[in-house]
Amino acid sequence: MKILATALLCLALGALAHSPAAGDSLPPVFLMSWGTLGAGPGQLDFPFGVAVDAGGNVYVGDQHNHRVHKFNSDGSYAADWTTGPESYPAGITVGPNGNVYVVLNHTHCVKIYSAAGTPLGTIGSPGHLPGQLFYPVAVATDAAGNVYVANSGDNKVDKFTAGGAYVMSWHAPGVPYGVFVDNADCVYVTGNLGNKVMKFTSTGTYLGEWGSPGNGPGQFSFPEGMEQDAAGNIYVCDTGNDRVQKFTPSGIYLTQWGGRGTGDGLFHSPSDVAVDGLGTIYVADYNNARIELFGEPVPALPTTWGRIKAMHR
Q: Is residue 16 part of a domain?
A: no
Q: Is residue 8 part of a domain?
A: no
Q: Is residue 20 part of a domain?
A: no
- Tell me the average pLDDT of the chain: 89
Gap between the Cα atoms of 178 and 113, Å rounded: 21
**Domain CATH number, residue 79:** 2.120.10.30
What does the pLDDT look like over 54-104, one tens digit per residue? 999 999 999 999 999 999 999 999 999 999 988 999 999 999 999 999 999
Residue 248 belongs to domain spanning: 31-311
Please give the share of the chain, as a percent, with pLDDT higher than 90.
81
Gap between the Cα atoms of 54 and 146, Å rounded: 18
Q: Is residue 14 part of a domain?
A: no
Q: Is residue 63 part of a domain?
A: yes
| One-letter amino acid for residue 89 of the chain | P
Mean pLDDT of 106-122: 97
Using CB atoms within 10 Å of the CB of residue 31, give its burial: 0 to 12 exposed, 13 to 18 middle, 19+ buried.
middle
pTM of the predicted model as reported, rounded to 2 decimal places: 0.88
Q: Is residue 133 part of a domain?
A: yes
pLDDT band of residue 308 (cuts 50, 70, 90) is very low
Number of structural domains the chain divides into: 1
